[in-house]
A = this chain, B = another copy of it.
Amino acid sequence: MVSSPNIPDIVIGRLPIYLRALTQMSQQGQTFTSSHELGQRLGISSAQIRKDLSLFGDFGKQGTGYQISHLLTQLKQILQVNHEWPMIIVGAGDLGRALAHYRGFVSRGFRVVGVFDNDPAKIGMGNGDWQVYGMDQMVSFIHKRRVKIAMLAVPAETAQEVSDRLVDAGIRAILSYAPITLVVPSGVHVQYIDPVMHLQRMTYYLKSDER
């Protein structure tokens, strides 16, 4: 793996897409693939895929393409998901609980280890991996378990305040489901999931007579 100080973020954003597709191919018993096949599957040009991957090293061979298991290992190392990250969820409402029960995290580098909420009726709920704790226990939990990643499933009105507390406690990556733009210090990473944004991006293309 080549050291890679200045890779554009847009390229980094495509690596998880490649990782997911390659994982799927591997699970289906496939051992080799090509930039052409990957591109077809993902709707990305094969030239773009070759260019992206070449920024990190020489993974493919002219003629035989990419060995999937090797590329998987490399991509996981680059994205640092070759080990498991403990992760907390703030907010144990419908969404927070759905996320806590989601079974797709563990095989891909993440494990929910705690959920935090102010509602006494929810405190104590949980499974073998996590349980719901009160918000007053959040900071000490983050320290003790050395958690660096949080998912934010709280209402828009409290999201910034909770984000501030998470950052103060040592959280360095926040995946926010609250529909507001958070202000965080540099060095803290934020990604947003807002289903309405994806929907609005598609309605642009729908014919008006289809409404």
Contact = CB atoms under 8 A, between A and B. Distances in A.
Contacts of A189: 202, 205-206
Given A102-B95, A181-B21, A205-B189, A108 B151 contact: no
13 contacts: A9-B201, A12-B205, A42-B181, A81-B200, A94-B101, A104-B179, A104-B196, A109-B196, A109-B200, A148-B210, A149-B202, A173-B199, A193-B195
B211 A199 contact: no
A198 B193 contact: yes
A1 interface: no
Given A20-B197, A80-B206, 7 more contacts: A12-B204, A16-B196, A16-B197, A16-B201, A20-B194, A95-B98, A98-B98
A173 B110 CA distance: 30
Nearest to A84: B211
Nearest to A170: B210
Contacts of A149: 199, 202-203, 206
A108 B196 contact: yes
A31 interface: no
A55 interface: no
A180 interface: yes
Which interface class (under 10, 10 to 19, 20 to 34, 35 or more) fits A?
A: 35 or more
Listed residue (A20, A189, A198) with the most chain B CB atoms within 10 angstroms of its CB:
A198
Contacts of A41: 181
A5 to B, nearest CB: 12
A180 to B, nearest CB: 6
A125 interface: no
Interface string A159-202: 00000000000001101000111000000010111111111111
A19 interface: yes
A97 B99 contact: no
A175 B179 CA distance: 17
